Structure 1
């Protein structure tokens, strides 16, 4: 209980707190759809966490709404700062589940430096290692793949016929002056970031051609087309759509796979195996296009992420909204 109190207190000082409020519940009720009431989950307390960015908070609410429809007593502990903090909270039992990415676990928690290019193989390796080393179980992974990528403006891509990173490298060999990049400092020095891409594609970006920004500023700066021609982005970030950026395909697969999946302590899943029955069909319906569309509703239109999550689950028939 002391650990949980500390977690809630830590969440309270973050921007926006943890979800609606630290340790809060959903602000609405949902009824069953294709997700039916599950007797083994009725009134079971389940604490759902997330990291502190839009996609993660959205995924947390999707899990919370789905589990609520099954009858669980869900507690919202989303919007926690940093991968390590959320993961530690899961390991020590302050959280019961959250969505994690295969690449994050492989690089950060398993401390591997060489990514596995194939999605299934990356997932299998992470699932096995996490279970053996940490007692963390992974539900089946979703098609959501929030990878690193390089992007440019739509206009620049069309002007130079750029569809993938090999096209970009060929262009820079012909005209090195066009190789200006906006990146965060961590990405520049990571083997699963710029260093790995340079090695895989056989190119080199001089330090003078790199402008360093925080992740959020990269999108807006890149969209102006003035400071840099290329920038680091994430494939499921809604700003890719709202700013009409052209994401270059990583055709040689230099960046790790970052498929999202629900992670849960094995002992908790062993007690309540119906969690997988509830969440895995939902996970299978998610993909990058869905996440992009829903993220735009949150970041672009200012909609409440809990409502966006509920409405998508209603649309897909997983849950219903009870009549007044």
Structure 2
């Protein structure tokens, strides 16, 4: 499933949720169906899981995708969506009251290991697998990537000589 979750596809899911105001669970089910992943089966029959999410649309739809795929395969899934920030949900995950949680490899690595220096997706994933406590496992990473950006108007960029985030720091000194 992770191989089918591309950066472009994730953007399309978010467009449906944020701009077109569609229900995240309906969007997740549609994505599973359109990727031939929403088929019913029994491979997870007898499995009981709690799937959680942070409180932003991208994380909610990803949690819905995993929960719905597991449910379609016979698992009994409880969803705990919109939990809040990492400081709220990570202890629940580490403590075992959540079984599955979609997470950004780089962000959770920095949360767990403040001195982590890996930057490439593969290096971050490798560092994360080593940094996780023994009771947590990172599943295969998705191809989709999410990057933060700071956007300014062209006029503001020209006025302050901005071409990178680092340029903002120079202006505050």
The normalised TM-score by structure 2 is 0.68
Cα–Cα, structure 1 residues 75 and 151, in superposed 2: closer, same or farther, change >3 Å? same
Separation in 2 of the partners of 1:48 and 1:203? 39
Within a 5 Å distance, the mapping from 1:1-324 to structure 2 comes to: 34=37, 35-39=39-43, 41-112=44-115, 114=117, 116-130=118-132, 133-153=133-153, 156=154, 177-179=160-162, 198=166, 204-207=169-172
Please list the CA deviations of residues 150-192 of structure 1 after superposition, one character each: whole Å capped at 9, or x if unmatched: 3345xx3xx9xxxxxxxxxxxx6xx5535499xxxxxxxxxxx
Q: 1:177 to 1:90 in 2, by over 3 A?
A: closer
The structural deviation recorded for 1:111 is 1.8
Indicate if the aligned counterparts of 1:179 and 1:205 stay in contact, CA closer than 8 A.
Answer: no
Structure 1 residue 109: Cα displacement: 1.3
Summarize the Cα distance change of 1:204–1:104 in structure 2 as closer, same or farther, 3 Å threshold. closer
Deviation at 1:203, TM superposition (A): 7.5
Larger strand proportion, structure 1 or 2? 1
Q: Which has the larger radius of gyration?
A: 1
- Counterpart-to-counterpart distance in 2, 1:59 and 1:84: 19
Root-mean-square deviation (CA, aligned residues, Å) is: 3.5
Count of aligned pairs? 143
Provide the C-alpha distance between the structure 1 equivalents of 2:113 and 2:42, rounded to a whole number of angstroms.
34
Alpha carbons of 1:47 and 1:117: their partners in 2 closer, same or farther (altered >3 Å)?
Answer: same
| Secondary structure of 2:141's aligned partner | coil
Q: What's the offset of the Cα at 1:106?
A: 1.6
